[in-house]
Structures are given as structure tokens and as C-alpha cells.
Chain A
Amino acid sequence: MNLESIPLQAFLIVSSILFCIGIWGLLNSRNAVRVLMSIELMLNAVNINLMSFSSYIDNNLIQGQVFTIFVITVAAAEAAVGLAILLSLYRNRVTVDMESFNLLKW
């Protein structure tokens, strides 16, 4: 498919905006589940970046798509472990407020 109609920069800008929204959510959410969702948003932004580079710059070897597959794998593992940690935290503290998880704060 001829991709010249959409410039590469458009994809990159979308992924930059998505990444920054993810960072904002990571810094400002108080619900721990929302923090995990923000991490997923950031991982998706990175994936869009890799995919657009692989189609525009490396369109013969498409190593970016292979990288994206690996990122998706790691993201799935991360989500499973993160939510399990969240469940055991909730069991111990009976809250999901990020401000109350301050055991490691000096």
C-alpha cells in the first residue's frame, strides 16, 4: 500500500501525545488500577512508534514489528503480575489509594 499520503510525522505526533497523556495519568492518578492503565497507554504509544518506523524506514526487514510483538508479550506479563500485586496490596491495606502505599518512603 502506498503510504505517502500520511507522513511519518503524523504517526509520531500521535504517539508522542499518547505517551505524554500516559505520563500525566501515571503521575496524577490516585487509584492504583488507573496507574496500571496509564502504563498500558505508554506501552501502546511506544508500539505505535516502533510500527511506524518499521513501515516507513525499515519496510523490507520490518524488525520493528517483531519488536512490537515482544513488547506486547512483556506488557501482558506485566499486566498480570501488576494486577496480582495490586490484589495482594488491597488485601493487606484494604485500599487502592496510591498515597497510602508509603511503606518504602523515607
Chain B
Amino acid sequence: MSLAVTTQIICFSVLSLVIIVGALGVVLLESIVYSAFLLGGVFMSVAGLYLLLNASFVAAAQVLVYVGAVNVLIIFAIMLVNKKEDMKPIENLKSRRIISTSICLTLISLLIRVDLSNVWGLSDPNKSIGEESTIRIGEHLFSDYLLPFEVASVLLLMAMIGAIVLARRDVMNKDISTGLPVDQELLEKSNEPLLVKKLK
């Protein structure tokens, strides 16, 4: 895939604009549902940047994992915990905002200064493997990155078990380690419907 120079620049600017505006929307918008859908847009544009960088496999993984799994998970979580609640006002909110914003602005100026002032040792673009990157990733995963690859599968298994244990609703009758019956209050609490409005 070889795009003309102008097309590349146009694609890059549109994608970066969508990323930055979308990220600002994720952070600043009042409604959390809009934020979640904007987050999906940001993930898609990041996948577009990966395509510009000649990494089709990682772009596909980004779309599958982030848009397909993480974003859907976030939307489901919003659906489960979406309750209109009036948050208590916190004192000295203004000074908090000022401090955090100034920290972020300082960090961003430092990062941009490093980006622009450092002399990057760019490699020869003629040696680029370009479209064969998927093959090269496969070689890496099954030779020098074999151990991290296997450890990642263990990590995913642990995350799956942990998520099930943390999020399930039924509480066991007996404590697993001691065999004694557990606190009945917890059992009753587990039968409480989650989504109905609580009566005071």
C-alpha cells in the first residue's frame, strides 16, 4: 500500500484531530454514555494511525480488542451502574482543578519539548520491511518473545477468573477455607435486586 504524500498528510491530520477532540470529549462531556461512544471513535482513529504506520496486524488487533471488547465492556458497565445521582459538592474544587490542570500543562510542555529537541536516530527507510510486518510479528512471538507470550495467556486466565469471582452475585453458604457457615447478612444482601431504586 503506497499512498501519495498529500493523502498521507490529510489522513494523519484528520485522524489526530479526531483523536484529540474525541479524547477531550471523553474527559469533559457530562453524559458518560456519550463519553463511551466517543472512546470507541478514539480507538478506531488510533487503529487508523497504525494503518498509516504500516502495521495492519496491530490495527486489526486494536479494533478487535479495544473497540470489540473493552469498549463494549465499558458500555455494559455503564448500563449496570447507571444511576442518576447528585454528587456531593467538594470544597476547594477550584484549587484542585487549577493544580491538576497546571500539572498536566507542565507535563505536556515538557513532553513536547523532549519530542522536538531530541535528535532521533532514524533508521534507513529503504530497509523497512513494510507489509511483511505481520510475518515478522509471528516470528518474534514464537522465538524471542515466546516466554512473554505464554505468560500473557496465564495473565488472561487469571484476569478471567478474577473478574468472575469479583463480579458474581451469589455468595457461598460455607466459607471455603473453614467450612463454617458464613454471615447470613451477606446471603440476604446477595438476593437484593441491584437495579431497583432503593427505598429510604
Interface residues of A (CB under 8 A from B): 1-6, 8-14, 16-25, 27-34, 36-38, 40-41, 44, 47-48, 51-52, 54-63, 65-66, 68-70, 72-81, 83-88, 90-91, 94-97, 99-100
Contact = CB atoms under 8 A, between A and B. Distances in A.
A7 B100 CA distance: 31
Given A17-B20, A38-B27, A41-B23, A81 B70 contact: no
A62 B78 contact: no
20 contacts: A3-B8, A3-B53, A4-B125, A11-B49, A11-B53, A14-B20, A14-B49, A17-B23, A18-B20, A29-B27, A33-B81, A40-B66, A55-B53, A59-B128, A60-B123, A61-B140, A65-B55, A70-B145, A75-B65, A87-B167
B160 interface: yes
B38 to A, nearest CB: 9
A6 B9 contact: yes
A2 B125 contact: yes
A79 B105 CA distance: 27
Interface string B61-105: 110011001100110111011010101101000001100110111
A75 B73 CA distance: 12
Contact of A16 (B112, B141, B160): B112
Q: What is the predominant secondary structure among interface residues of chain B facing chain A?
A: helix
Kindly state the interface size class of chain B when it binds its partner: 35 or more
B53 A41 contact: no
B130 A1 contact: yes
A88 B162 CA distance: 12
A38 B26 contact: yes
Contacts of B108: 16-17, 20
B182 interface: no
A94 B83 CA distance: 9
Contacts of A55: 53-55, 128
B191 to A, nearest CB: 12
Nearest to A12: B115
A3 B23 CA distance: 26
Interface of B: 1-3, 5, 8-9, 12, 16, 19-20, 23-24, 26-27, 32, 35-36, 39, 42-43, 46, 49-50, 52-55, 57-58, 61-62, 65-66, 69-70, 73-74, 76-78, 80-81, 83, 85, 87-88, 90, 96-97, 100-101, 103-105, 107-108, 111-112, 115-116, 120-123, 125, 127-130, 133, 136-137, 140-141, 145, 148, 152, 155-156, 158-160, 162-167, 169, 194, 198
B126 to A, nearest CB: 9
